[in-house]
Amino acid sequence: MGSDVSVQARQRAEKWLSEDFDETTRARVKEMLAQADDKELTESFYRDLEFGTGGLRGIMGVGTNRMNIYTVGMATQGLADYLSKTFPGQQIKVAVSHDSRNNSRKFAEHVADIFASNGFKVWLFDALRPTPELSFAIRELGCHSGVMVTASHNPKEYNGYKAYWNDGSQVTEPHDRNIIAEVARITDISQIKSGNAGDRIEILDKNFDELYLDKVHSLSVAPEAVRQFADMKIVYTPLHGAGVRLVPESLKKFGFTNVTVVPEQSILDGDFPTVASPNPEERTAMKMAIDLATEIGAELVLATDPDADRLAIAVRDGDEFVLLNGNQTCALLTSYLLTGWAESGKISGKEFVVKTIVTSEMIPAVAAKFGVKCYDCLTGFKYIAKLVRDKEGTEQYIGGGEESFGFMAGDFVRDKDGVSACSLAAEAAAWAKSKGMTLYGWLKQMYVEYGFYKEGLVSITRPGLDGVAQIERMMREFRSNPPREILGSPVVKVRDILKEPVDGERSNVLQFFTADGTKVSVRPSGTEPKIKFYFGVCAPLASVDDFDRTETLLDTKIEEIKRELNL
């Protein structure tokens, strides 16, 4: 980093030596100022931790660019000020929850105190809860906003918080940028109102859980299949997170009686000691659950991330377990729900499903079979929630998902929901079994019917200030010099979502479509220092017997695309 940035960071750090900051914080700042290498000091203080369109997320520690009670407090005061201006004269109500991460409870209590000290009515959960229950609580309790303290599936060093609006979804335009502007006005911790909560904080306990679980259970479409195979062996891992509170309870409510929770990973621990990263998208995070499932002869493995909004599924294929990717999970759950709705005679032509622009093109193919609309939206469940909100009263939402292991069924939650998705996945497995199939066998049959859609992802991490600049350069290069062909197939369309809005929304995403049906998408992550490349290819599948050969061909094609793009 340049010397000017380092000097500015040092000046900012010195302000944290005042008596306004606690003794432990001041001591740590003194240590950093005394270090010969100023890299840590600069990274911690070179900027304010950005309150983005989804809220806060960052490494925990001392500094203006770190997650701590001071940066959390300033962001919360900014959000409180915006709520006060947006709903003048109203008794503003908010809900607050948190996951299992280190400091999450402390941050959540601080957030609740600040809201209450601003005169708001606050509901705070008595302990950690999944993100989808927080979304549900906002709607159920008639709140104007809510905060979930979580860094989702990020490594243990991170924490963050997601800001929600009154429909239970994460904030969208214009509120997101308006909140960002309001947070920017909080430039000193003296502006934070705290310590005057009075009796305005009410605790939510397990009784509220039952309201949410009843709604989840209402999604069931094949209860008779569960009754038939209630003792189907299922292994579940919460990866040390909030899912342990409700996923087993939800599976029990659906009727499953033989669920084994991975004991080592049911322990709530923000250090996530049994995994390198608590991300169920990675097979290494699933290893302990898959090993246990192999040992006890289970048919299905389910996992959720620390705040239980994402799910992962591993399905048995003979003696092995196959870890489904997010596209496959979304296709299976969409097809399962539509099948159930169709068999119940509930499809009238006014129903719809949703996928994001980087999610598998198999979803619209499935929807078309059932005469159900499929809408595209930008990446992020707040855009799925926006579509649900915009179409309320005219069209019926059934379900929607994205490639990053998220699915949302029903409209009582307005964010991805690992609790309901786990329950539906288990019910789908029981339904498939009642038809003489495994879930994986059913997926193969779907490929024969709709085409074999195969997706890939490359995620490149570039942390720190230099990383931000590198990612920006990569996007500029792709914009100014887009590929003219991919593996010899001409690029017939370049889609720049900054110039071509999706459902009225712009985003820093580029997509390249070729004549042979290949799709490549490029987007920087909105919450992590990453740039992501998504690949989608497709081929016909004549029969299940051709599955392995066709999968190899498609996998090879994706790898060749990566090499051609120097990834």
Q: DSSP for 317-355?
A: ETTEEEE--HHHHHHHHHHHHHHHHHHTT---S-EEEEE
Name every residue whose Cβ is closer than 8 Å to that of residue 501 and which is 6 or more positions away in sequence. none
Instruction: Indicate if the pLDDT at residue 253 is higher than 90.
Output: yes
Helix (H, G, I), strand (E, B) or coil at 548: helix
496-536 residue pLDDT tens? 999 999 988 899 999 999 999 899 999 998 667 899 999 99
pLDDT bracket for residue 1 (50, 70, 90): very low
- pLDDT above 70 coverage of the chain, percent: 99
d(C-alpha 195, C-alpha 327), whole Å: 46
CATH 3.40.120.10 at 212-450, yes or no: yes
Domains 47-204 and 212-450 share a fold: yes
| Confidence category of residue 467, pLDDT binned at 50, 70, 90 | confident
In which band, very low, low, confident or very high, does the pLDDT at 134 lie, cut at 50, 70 and 90?
very high
Average of per-residue pLDDT across 422-427: 98
Second-level CATH architecture of 452-564: 2-Layer Sandwich (3.30)
DSSP 210-244: HHHHHHHHTT-S-HHHHHHTTT--EEEE-TTSTHH
| Lookup: tokens for 132 | 């989808």
Query: 47-204 in CATH: which number?
Result: 3.40.120.10
> What pLDDT is attached to residue 10?
94
Asked whether the beta carbons of 328 and 412 are under 8 A apart, the reply is: no
Q: Is 152 a catalytic residue?
A: yes
Model confidence band, residue 369 (pLDDT cutoffs 50, 70, 90): very high
Contact 461, 533 (CB under 8 A): no
pLDDT > 70? residue 36: yes
* Residue-level pLDDT at 527: 64
Give DSSP secondary structure letters for 49-76: PP-BTTEEEEEBSSSTTSBSHHHHHHHH
- pLDDT tens for each residue of 392-416: 999 999 999 999 999 999 999 999 9
Domain boundaries along the sequence of the chain: 47-204, 212-450, 452-564
pTM over 0.85: yes
Has residue 327 got a pLDDT over 80? yes
Confidence (pLDDT) at 529: 82
Residue with tokens 């712009």: 506
Q: How large is the average pLDDT for residues 197-226?
A: 98
* Close Cβ partners of 251 (under 8 Å, ≥ 6 residues apart): 234, 236, 259, 422, 423, 426
The DSSP secondary structure of 482-522, one letter per residue, reads: --SEETTEEEEEEEETTTS-BTTB--S-EEEEETTS-EEEE
Distance of alpha carbon 200 from alpha carbon 122, whole angstroms = 6
In this predicted structure, the answer to whether residue 222 has a pLDDT above a threshold of 80 is yes
**Band of pLDDT at residue 152, cut at 50, 70 and 90:** very high
What are the tens digits of pLDDT across the range 78-117?
Answer: 999 999 999 999 999 999 999 999 999 999 999 999 999 9
- The 8-class DSSP code of residue 440 comes to H
Catalytic one of 100, 145, 152, 250: 152
Per-residue pLDDT at 466: 82
Q: What is the mean pLDDT of the chain?
A: 95
All residues at 6 or more sequence positions from 370 whose CB lies less than 8 Å from its CB, including other chains: 338, 339, 341, 342, 347
What does the radius of gyration of the chain's CA atoms come to, in whole angstroms? 24
